[in-house]
Structure 1
């Protein structure tokens, strides 16, 4: 049985991995402002085989073998999620 704590840690680890790639490519982990100001497309490639997809207040990052979908929060939080 998978513990809730392990699921949360796995989620946060994948968000960290993805937002680190965003930071390296765009200079920020929160790319919503870039999208809303027209500086980047809503969807695109971060690095070979890894893509992002912005939506509402969040971002999905698609890795070659899995994906993570998270919401941005206040004070540059990157650990928010909904159902």
Structure 2
């Protein structure tokens, strides 16, 4: 069984990514944000009217909200629902007030447990190292 704390962290992380994707859709419609950046329809870094800032990098993007930061990579077929231990760790360290009792050690333990129970899995894809809910 997945720990309640771990599930909350992952769900909150993915919700923040989803908010960012929605903001990009307001700017470029259904065009994938990474493609819009590469086609120069979006600058590499900028901000939305809501104040959320973004910075594209490689195959991902850093979103800077007023209460947290979310760094994510786009997966195959422009998926944005992937995560890994490093990204989750960065997320919780950017907003310790949200998870005051959840340590990095607990995150590592819970992540490993979720992998071993196959609650999260890597895609069978040569260029994707992200994990996704099973």
* Normalised TM-score (structure 1): 0.83
2:47 aligned partner = 45
- Higher share of residues assigned helix: 2
**In structure 2, the residue corresponding to 1:47 is in which secondary structure?**
coil
Within a 5 Å distance, the mapping from 1:9-28 to structure 2 comes to: 9-28=11-30
Residue 29 of structure 1: CA displacement? 6.6
Tell me which protein shows more strand as a share of its residues.
1
Secondary structure of 2:67's partner? coil
CA distance in 2, matches of 1:5, 1:80: 14
Asked if the contact 1:30–1:76 (Cα under 8 Å) also holds between the matched residues in 2, the reply is: yes
Query: Unaligned stretches of 5+ in structure 1?
Result: none
Structure 2 spans left out of the alignment, 5+ residues: 87-134
Residue number in structure 1 paired with 2:71: 69
Distance 2:39 2:23 in 1: 21
After superposing on structure 2, the runs of 4+ consecutive aligned residues of structure 1 that deviate more than 3 Å are none
